[in-house]
Every structure is written in C-alpha cells, then in structure tokens.
A and B are shown apart, each in its own frame.
Chain A
Amino acid sequence: MKTSPAVFGLIAEFEDPTSLVSAAHQAHDAGYRRMDAYSPFPIEELHEAIGARHTRLPLIVLIGGVCGCIGGFALQYWASTIVYPINVAGKPLNSWPAFIPVTFECTILVAALSAVLGMLALNGLPMPYHPVFNVPRFALASRNRFFLCIEAKDPQFDLESTRRFLETLNPREVTTVAD
C-alpha cells in the first residue's frame, strides 16, 4: 500500500451535473464504494449513482410516530379515567373520539422531532471539521462546481491508480485531500 495515513482521499472537480452523475456511475461500476459527491443543489440521480444505501431515517420516524401516538393517547386516558375522573355531559370517562386530535398532534410532533434529531444523528452534523475543506477550490461546491471524492477508506483505493482512474473521467482537475 502506497497510501500514506495522512490522505483522506482524492477529489475530482466537474463543471456540470451530468458529468458528475456519469463519473459517479463509472466509479461505482469500477468497484469503488466509499465515496461521496458534492453539488450546489440536489441532483436526484446522484444518490443512486454513488450507490447510497437505503437510509434508516424512515424507520426512526415511524418508530417516533408510533411512540407519539401511543404516548399521546395514554396521557389522556390516564388523566381522564384514572387521576381526574370527571363526568362531562354524561359521556364515558374513556371518551376516545375526544382524544383523537391530541393523539394525532402528538404523533406528528414526535415523528417530526425524530426526523430532525435522527437526521442529525445519522449524518453526524454539526461537524466542525471535514477534510474536503482542505482543498481550497472546494468552496466552489456551494456555487457552480461539482465534486466527486473517493475516500482512502475504500478497500480499492490506491493513490496512483485511483488518480489515473479519476483522470479518465474528464474532470477539470484531480486533487489529493489531506486528512
């Protein structure tokens, strides 16, 4: 292995989204898995092109929603039948139709909170340091340039051969990213 431990990966810069998507497809086809793509705006096909796995976020949100639903209903049931049993208009103490709106709101509240917190937990934000920012031109990723970074953690990564591979994808330039 020629890879020195101080290298985070290799980053290729592209001038338009189509080249980035096609480069990502080719890198995935060539067997690279540990890579990430950066673009100033969301590109629908890109997610698929880098072979991103299905995220676990929907499951977290679902679990959050179910907890909120049960919790919201349980709170009202406990309050109005056990601790404060008050007869209102002769209706039963467990008047479930009246509990539905709050149950619904609690479902939404906990599901939305799980979505935000789950998203932060899964993507590791806020992240004060990321090696790609060591490349000065990377600032353009939020303007008009598109980047594909193959990380050194990839089992196929080799500083020389991966660089040669990236050069074949017609990038504007390929830069080594220091860790």
Chain B
Amino acid sequence: MVLTNTADVAIPELAGYQRRLLIGGAVGMIASLAGLFMEPTQFLQSYLMAYMLWLGVTLGCLALGMVHQLSGGGWGVVIRRPIGAATRVLPVMTGLFLPIAFGMFRLYSWTNLDLVAHDEALRHKHLYLNAPFFLARAAFYFLVWNTLTYFLNAWSLEQDTTAEPGLARRMQKLSAAGLLGYGLTITFASFDWLMSLEPHWFSTIYGVLIMGGQALSALAVLIVVLVWLSRRAPLDKIVVAAHFHDLGNLMLAFIMLWAYFSFSQYLIIWSGNLPTEIAWYLHRLQTGWRAVGVTLILFHFVVPFLLLLSRAMKREPRTIVVVAGGILVARLVDLFWLIAPEFHHAGISVSWLDVVLPVSLGAIWLGCFIGQLRGRAILPLHDPGFDEALGRILEKAKAERSAAAH
C-alpha cells in the first residue's frame, strides 16, 4: 500500500517546493539585511514580530499535538504528520532567536541601566528584568520545548517502524506533563519577549492570549497544508469534508477564545482605569494605531467568526483555505499591534521590513517544514486511533481505486 511510503516518495514534487522556498526565503533575508544597517531598531522590531509569528506556529503545533495525544479523535490523525514536521522546525527556530538575544539592548528599554537607576518601578523589577537572567530564561524555555519535541518525534518514529503499543501510552504521559510545561514556559516567554517591551505595564492574561494565538496560527497553517495535501495522491481520497469541518470548528473555537481573552484584558483595565495599566491602551487607542485595533476586531474576530458559523464554508476546502489564510495574516497584524506601537508612540508606522521579514521567515519555515515532512509516512499508520478514525474511509478509497483500475 502506497501509504507506508515516505511523503518524499508519495509526493515527489515536495523536493522542488522545499528548494524554491528556502532560496526565496534566504534572498528575502539577505535583502532585509540592508534594513539592519540602515535602521537597526526597526529591523529588530519587525524581526521580533516575524519571529513570534513563526515560532507561534511551531509551538502551537507542539501544543495541538500534545492535546491530540491526550484527547484522541479523527481530526488529529490526518494532521499528525504535518504537526510533527512543524515541531521539528524548532531547532532552526532556536537558532533564529539569536538576533533577538543580540538585539535585546535595542529592543528592551529595561536593559538601559541609566534609565532603570532613575525609575523606582524598574529598579524593583530589575531582579527579574535583567540581561543575564533574561538570556538564562530563554535558554531554559528552548530546552523544555526542544526536549518535548525530541522525545515525541523519536517515539512517533519508533511507533512507525515497530508498531509497539506501549509507545502511545508513553507519548500520552509526556504530553500531559508537556502541556503543563508549555503553559508555564510560554506565559513567561511572552512576558519576557513581548510584554516587557513596555516594562511598566503588566497584564496577567497576556500569557494565555499569546498561547491561544499560537494555537490559532498553527491551526491556520495546518488547514492550508491539509488542503494542499488533499488535492493530490495519496491523501486525495482520504481527507474528507468531515476533517475540514472538525478543523474549522476548532479554528472557530480559538477565534472566540482570542476574542474573549483580548476583551477580558481590555475590560478589566478599562474598568480599573489606573494610570500604569491604561498607558498601554492610551498610546494605541488615542493615536493612529486605533485603526489597527479596529481592523483586528473586524478581521481577527467578526468576519472569520461569521464565516465559520456556516457549515458549508467549513466543509469546502476551497473556502476554508481562504479563511485560514486570512487568519494567518490577522495573526501577523495582532503581533504588529502588540509590538509596533511600543516603538512608534506618536502614530501608525509601517516599514517595508514589516512585510519582507515575516514573508521571508515564513518561506524559510515552510522550506524546513517540507524538508521534515518528506522524511516520514504521511499518516501515522500505527497510531492506536488510526483504524477508528480512517479505517472505513481507507476501505472506500481502496475500493474506488481498484474499480477505477479495472
């Protein structure tokens, strides 16, 4: 059966896409280096945004994969391999954190010790917000994420070859602990890398806001990938409308979760009306940045929410891929809204780097992703939920293929 082949053999055109994406991404990155010399702070600001988007896709896939290990279900079986491939891009993303580590003195005002010395609040926060501890924490987060990725992928590969039933149980146990670890590390990572851009401001819901956003970015990318895969052999007869329906429902849930978290943060700060807390919203809502906020409400919530209410919309690959693509763009705008106003208090400011860097980094990410996808079978054949999820569909596909052959 063709399904036991690696994706490389089953879908030979992947190699060409991988090469083109990596070359395109590298060209884009080299071109944006001009920006690094002309306006280094702008470069780092845009790089942080691009990096958080694609790191979010990677970690979102890691989290969704762990959730599926625990929950099971047909929705996850067909995207398990894309999820695994996405998590294996993490070592590359770990290396790509270096520009942020080197650029932290330009990005984060709390690294300026003169400023800290004259600011009572920052002096107290110095115990946490100082350069060595910041780097040590980052190293710890990447250690946790890479360890989880390594073991989950190694065991999944072992499951492919040996079909040993005990492996599924072992992956479940690691996923339970891993989800807890992910929740804690991503909360602190988002405090460190994004929230501390405005070191006086704090919001306790910020971590889960980023977490929900990562799962949403990951789902959007996975849906686009699955639609692409479902248009060619061997998945063309295996991925059916019901799979897109499930993923569409999940995406709807995460959109509502994002809206709920974002609005909760706003409502609490708006009600309290305290000077330190409202500053973050003041230079966003009383300047040109307000337009970005309105765009987010419309295109990160209202429009995709209404579209995804429709059953037909979710079941049709051609429409859901457009919604998923739109959400990925909205995710970028959301990160822009979180990061950019901290560097341009006066009003809205968009640089060419805000477009080139996310696209180039995305091309590199996709190139690495395809490279990882090629190495393994396209479905987890020995997953305990496999037969329940796909057994009947596979039989039907097999019958149709043999009927077509005769």
Using CB atoms and an 8 Å cutoff, list the residues of chain A in contact with chain B.
44, 58, 62, 89, 97-98, 100-101
> Contact flags (1/0) for B247-272 with A, using CB distance below 8 Å?
00000000000000001001100110
Does the CB pair B309–A97 fall under 8 Å? no
**Which B residues are CB-close (under 8 A) to A58?**
311
Interchain residue pairs with CB less than 8 A apart (6): A89-B273, A97-B263, A97-B266, A97-B270, A97-B271, A100-B267
Does the CB pair A98–B271 fall under 8 Å? yes
Q: A44-B242, A98-B267, A98-B271 are in contact. List 8 more A-B contacts (CB 8 A).
A: A89-B273, A97-B263, A97-B266, A97-B267, A97-B270, A97-B271, A100-B267, A101-B267
**Which A residues are CB-close (under 8 A) to B267?**
97-98, 100-101
Does the CB pair A62–B273 fall under 8 Å? no
Cα A58 to Cα B308 in complex, Å, equals: 13
Cα A89 to Cα B266 in complex, Å, equals: 17
Cα A98 to Cα B270 in complex, Å, equals: 9
Whole-angstrom distance between the Cβ of A53 and the nearest chain B Cβ: 13
A100 partner, pick from B263, B273, B309, beta carbons under 8 A: B263
Cα A44 to Cα B242 in complex, Å, equals: 10
**Which A residues are CB-close (under 8 A) to B273?**
89
B309 partner, pick from A62, A89, A98, A101, beta carbons under 8 A: A62
**Which B residues are CB-close (under 8 A) to A89?**
273
> Contact flags (1/0) for B1-33 with A, using CB distance below 8 Å?
000000000000000000000000000000000
> Contact flags (1/0) for B225-258 with A, using CB distance below 8 Å?
0000000000000000010000000000000000
Whole-angstrom distance between the Cβ of B287 and the nearest chain A Cβ: 19
Interface residue count on the B side (C-beta < 8 Å): 9
Using CB atoms and an 8 Å cutoff, list the residues of chain B in contact with chain A.
242, 263, 266-267, 270-271, 273, 309, 311
**Which B residues are CB-close (under 8 A) to A44?**
242
Cα A100 to Cα B309 in complex, Å, equals: 20
Cα A62 to Cα B271 in complex, Å, equals: 31
Question: Looking across the interface, which residue of chain B has its beta carbon closest to that of A90?
Answer: B273
* 9 interchain residue pairs of minimum CB distance: A97-B270, A97-B267, A100-B263, A89-B273, A97-B266, A100-B267, A98-B271, A58-B311, A62-B309
Whole-angstrom distance between the Cβ of B304 and the nearest chain A Cβ: 16
Whole-angstrom distance between the Cβ of B155 and the nearest chain A Cβ: 31
**Which B residues are CB-close (under 8 A) to A62?**
309
Whole-angstrom distance between the Cβ of A95 and the nearest chain B Cβ: 9
Whole-angstrom distance between the Cβ of A51 and the nearest chain B Cβ: 17
Cα A98 to Cα B273 in complex, Å, equals: 13
Question: Looking across the interface, which residue of chain B has its beta carbon closest to that of A44?
Answer: B242
Cα A62 to Cα B270 in complex, Å, equals: 30
Whole-angstrom distance between the Cβ of A76 and the nearest chain B Cβ: 14
**Which B residues are CB-close (under 8 A) to A97?**
263, 266-267, 270-271
**Which A residues are CB-close (under 8 A) to B309?**
62
**Which B residues are CB-close (under 8 A) to A101?**
267
Cα A98 to Cα B269 in complex, Å, equals: 11
Cα A58 to Cα B313 in complex, Å, equals: 14
Whole-angstrom distance between the Cβ of B308 and the nearest chain A Cβ: 13
Cα A44 to Cα B309 in complex, Å, equals: 20
Cα A97 to Cα B266 in complex, Å, equals: 8
Cα A101 to Cα B266 in complex, Å, equals: 12
Whole-angstrom distance between the Cβ of A27 and the nearest chain B Cβ: 20
Whole-angstrom distance between the Cβ of B389 and the nearest chain A Cβ: 12
Cα A62 to Cα B311 in complex, Å, equals: 13
Whole-angstrom distance between the Cβ of B189 and the nearest chain A Cβ: 29
Whole-angstrom distance between the Cβ of A121 and the nearest chain B Cβ: 20
Whole-angstrom distance between the Cβ of B260 and the nearest chain A Cβ: 9
Cα A89 to Cα B273 in complex, Å, equals: 9
**Which A residues are CB-close (under 8 A) to B311?**
58
Whole-angstrom distance between the Cβ of B256 and the nearest chain A Cβ: 10
Question: Looking across the interface, which residue of chain B has its beta carbon closest to that of A88?
Answer: B271
Question: Looking across the interface, which residue of chain B has its beta carbon closest to that of A61?
Answer: B309
**Which B residues are CB-close (under 8 A) to A100?**
263, 267
Cα A77 to Cα B266 in complex, Å, equals: 20
Whole-angstrom distance between the Cβ of A86 and the nearest chain B Cβ: 15
Cα A100 to Cα B263 in complex, Å, equals: 9
Cα A97 to Cα B262 in complex, Å, equals: 12
Cα A47 to Cα B270 in complex, Å, equals: 49
